[in-house]
Amino acid sequence: MGRETRKSGNFVVMTMPELHRIEGADTMLLPERFTYPFCYEPHGLTRLAAERVTEYLSGRYAHHDALEQGKMLGVLVALDSEGRLGYLAAYSGEVAGLEKDRYFVPPVYDLNERGGVFKRGEARITALNRVIEWLERFAPMAIARERLARMAASHEREERAFRERMVVNKAQRTARRVEGALSAEQEQRLIRESQFEKAELRRMRRRHEEERRPLEVMLNEHRERILRRKQQRKQMSEALQRRIFGLFEMLNGRGERKTLPEIFSEYDQTHGGSGDALPPAGAGECAAPRLLQFAYSKGLKPVCMGEFWWGASPVGEEREKGKFYPACHHKCMPILGFMLQGLDVEANPLAADCALPLSVVWEDEWLVAVNKPAGLASVPGVAHTDSALLRLQKMYPQARRLMLAHRLDQATSGLLLAAKDDVTGALMHRQFERGEVRKTYVALLCGNVAADEGEVSLPLGADYHDRPRQKVDSERGKEARTSYRVLRRFARHVLVEFTPHTGRTHQLRVHSASSQGLRAAIAGDTLYGGQTTVPATVAEILTRDYGMSQRGAAGIWLQSQSLRFTHPMTGEEVNIALKKQVLKFA
pLDDT above 50: residue 280: yes
Angle between helices 139-179 and 184-247 (to 10 degrees): 150
Q: Which 3-state string (H, E, C) describes 270-318? A: HCCCCCCCCCCCCCCCCHHHHHHHHHHHCCCEEEEEEEEEECCCCCCCC
pLDDT of residue 427: 96
Average pLDDT of the residues in 308-325: 86
pLDDT above 90: residue 314: no
Does 348 map to a domain? Answer: no
Rounded Cα gap, residues 523 and 444, in angstroms: 6
pLDDT above 90: residue 383: no
Does 353 map to a domain? Answer: no
pLDDT of residue 2: 39
Average pLDDT of the residues in 308-321: 84
pLDDT above 90: residue 581: no
**DSSP letter (8 states) at residue 327:** P
Confidence of residue 13 (pLDDT cuts 50, 70, 90): very low
For residue 7, the SS3 value is strand
Answer yes or no: do 456 and 325 share one domain. Answer: no
pLDDT of residue 148: 95
Average pLDDT of the residues in 341-361: 88
Greatest alpha-carbon pair distance for the chain in Å reads 118
* Closest by CA position to 90, among listed 308, 330, 323: 308
pLDDT of residue 9: 39
pLDDT of residue 119: 83
pLDDT of residue 26: 75
Does 586 map to a domain? Answer: no
* Closest by CA position to 354, among listed 336, 337, 329, 371: 371
Q: What is the CATH number of the domain that holds 426?
A: 3.30.2350.10
CB atoms within 10 A of CB 96: 9
pLDDT above 90: residue 553: no
Q: Which of 468 and 148 is assigned the larger pLDDT?
A: 148
Helix H or strand E segment including 361: strand 359-363
Instruction: Output Rg (C-alpha) for the chain, integer angstroms.
Output: 33
Q: Do 72 and 261 meet the contact criterion of CB atoms below 8 Å apart? A: no
Q: What is the pLDDT of residues 40-64, one digit of tens each?
A: 889 999 999 999 999 999 999 988 8
Segment of 99-113, 343-357, 404-418 carrying the highest mean pLDDT: 404-418
pLDDT of residue 116: 78
Instruction: Give the residue numbers spanning the domain of 187.
Output: 134-226
Answer yes or no: do 34 and 165 share one domain. Answer: no
pLDDT of residue 135: 92
pLDDT of residue 6: 44
Q: How many residues does the chain have?
A: 586
Number of domain units in the chain: 3
Average pLDDT of the residues in 514-519: 90
pLDDT above 50: residue 585: no
Percentage of residues in the chain having pLDDT higher than 90: 63
Does 459 map to a domain? Answer: yes
pLDDT above 70: residue 17: no
* Closest by CA position to 215, among listed 135, 132, 149: 149
pLDDT of residue 520: 92
Rounded Cα gap, residues 335 and 289, in angstroms: 7
Rounded Cα gap, residues 496 and 513, in angstroms: 13
Burial of 230 from C-beta contacts in 10 A (0-12 / 13-18 / 19+): middle
Does 124 map to a domain? Answer: no
Amino acid residing at 383: A
Average pLDDT of the residues in 265-292: 90
Burial of 463 from C-beta contacts in 10 A (0-12 / 13-18 / 19+): buried
Q: What is the pLDDT of residues 288-301, one digit of tens each?
A: 999 999 999 999 99
Percentage of residues in the chain having pLDDT higher than 70: 94
Answer yes or no: do 99 and 154 share one domain. Answer: no
Q: Do 217 and 148 meet the contact criterion of CB atoms below 8 Å apart? A: no
The mean of the pLDDT values for the chain is 89
Rounded Cα gap, residues 541 and 547, in angstroms: 9
Average pLDDT of the residues in 203-222: 95
Rounded Cα gap, residues 211 and 314, in angstroms: 53
Beta carbons within 8 Å of 407's beta carbon, 6+ residues apart: 378, 379, 416
Average pLDDT of the residues in 112-136: 87
Does 234 map to a domain? Answer: no
Q: What is the pLDDT of residues 73-122, one digit of tens each?
A: 999 999 999 989 999 999 999 998 898 899 999 999 887 776 678 888 88
Answer yes or no: do 332 and 364 share one domain. Answer: no
Answer yes or no: do 310 and 214 share one domain. Answer: no
Does 207 map to a domain? Answer: yes
Answer yes or no: do 188 and 333 share one domain. Answer: no
Answer yes or no: do 317 and 405 share one domain. Answer: no
Q: Do 74 and 50 meet the contact criterion of CB atoms below 8 Å apart? A: no
Q: Does the annotation count 409 as an active-site position?
A: yes
Lowest mean pLDDT among 199-203, 454-458, 575-579: 575-579
386, 409, 466, 525: the catalytic one is 409
Answer yes or no: do 436 and 531 share one domain. Answer: yes
Q: Do 349 and 39 meet the contact criterion of CB atoms below 8 Å apart? A: yes
Beta carbons within 8 Å of 494's beta carbon, 6+ residues apart: 444, 445, 447, 448, 449, 486, 488, 520
Answer yes or no: do 465 and 566 share one domain. Answer: yes
| Domain final position from 307, 339, 371 | 339
Q: How far is CA 536 from CA 59, 73, 153, 540, in A?
A: 35, 30, 78, 6
| Domain final position from 339, 369, 398 | 339
Q: What is the pLDDT of residues 159-195, one digit of tens each?
A: 999 999 999 999 999 998 888 888 889 899 999 999 9
pLDDT above 90: residue 530: no
Answer yes or no: do 299 and 447 share one domain. Answer: no
pLDDT of residue 12: 36
* Closest by CA position to 229, among listed 322, 134, 150, 336: 134
Answer yes or no: do 419 and 561 share one domain. Answer: yes
Answer yes or no: do 68 and 159 share one domain. Answer: no
Q: Do 76 and 295 meet the contact criterion of CB atoms below 8 Å apart? A: yes
Rounded Cα gap, residues 514 and 517, in angstroms: 5
User: Which residue(s) pair with 564 in the sheet?
Assistant: 438, 575
Does 121 map to a domain? Answer: no
Q: Does residue 37 have a cis bond before it (omega within 30 degrees)?
A: no
Task: Count the alpha carbons within 13 Å of 109 in the hemisphere toward its beta carbon.
Answer: 20
